[in-house]
Amino acid sequence: MTRFNGEALSRETAADGEEEEWKEEEWKKEEKKEDSRDAREAIIELDDVAFGYTATPVVENVSLRIDPGEYVAIVGPNGSGKSTLLKLVLGLLRPDRGTARLFSQPAHQFDDGSRIGYVAQHASASKSMPITVREVVKMGRFPHVGFGRLGASDREIVEEAIGTVGMSSFADRRITALSGGQRQRAFIARALAGEADLLVLDEPTVGVDADSVAAFYDLLEALHGQGITIILIEHDLSAVTAHAERAVCLNREIYFDGPTDEFTPENALARTMGATAEPERETT
């Protein structure tokens, strides 16, 4: 960023006084902007992260900052490290190298689960768990009430979350008796009831019919509008460019990170696929 130099300003002549004042104002504004960005708590900060399940890293040289309110899609071929990256972000795995911070804390030490709503791939529900949508959503409130019972305001929040995802008429239905898309929405409602400010979704629309996918993206759009930060792994690149604001294209390393309107799936993916065909030599 270009900064105005204080010394240069002081050398300005009196005749340039007005300009000087203007420059000082601009300088102050720029400073303020930068300060507020720095002071704002990043949701996620990965710095030069590497991780491997074995000696070979599956994620490498990854630096990534995600700020509050962003809507980010992580894309890349199968096996490119997307789920691993999410696990590093959530502190479920610890980097072999570099640092991973979540809400300004080391990710693996972060313990305020209620701030994060995680919707796994094929949001599964055990058949032996005969619980209803409402009960699932209530679970989102538990971190707020400890071992106590849900109060009237908690129950109100639960009903509101169910309403937000359009599941009010299914509230008493067992979670196992829902379609994939409905189940995803129930899990999002659980995150909303917990007042999560980060929603992390791993291929949420796999196996979901086209109409439900459209409704699902409308819901994410609405939640994004409310300021919730969204990170999503998505295999459907047209969905990424249509809905997310920022795309991060990964194949062990990050090959593209920028606004989706600058993201050309063909180019970005060709580059990541190229890297798959001809892996870079490992440096030690």
Residues that bind ligand ADP (CB under 6 A): 53, 58, 76, 78-84
Q: What is the dihedral of CA 140, 146, 148, 154, to 10 degrees?
A: -40
CB of 93 to ligand ADP, least distance (A): 9
Give the nearest distance from C-beta 82 to ligand ADP in angstroms.
3
CB 105, min distance to ligand ADP, A: 23
Which helix or strand (DSSP H or E) is residue 116 part of?
A: strand 116-119
User: Toward ligand ADP, which CB reaches closer, 73 or 192?
Assistant: 73
Question: Cα 233 vs. chain centroid, distance in angstroms?
Answer: 9
Please name which of 233, 182, 206 lies closest in space to residue 75, comparing C-alpha atoms: 233
Q: What is the enclosing helix (H) or strand (E) of 202?
A: strand 198-202
Please give the DSSP secondary-structure letter assigned to residue 228: -
What the block records as the tokens of 127 is 């058949």
Nearer to ligand ADP (CB atom), residue 175 or residue 230: 230
**Main-chain dihedrals φ then ψ at residue 6, nearest 5 degrees:** -60, -40
Question: 3-class SS at 189?
Answer: helix
Report the nearest approach of ligand ADP to the CB of residue 237 (Å). Answer: 14
Q: How far is the CB of 81 from ligand ADP (least distance, A)?
A: 4
Closer CB to ligand ADP, residue 53 or residue 147? 53
Provide the pairing of β-strand 59-66 with 44-51.
Answer: antiparallel
Choice between 57 and 140, CB closer to ligand ADP: 57
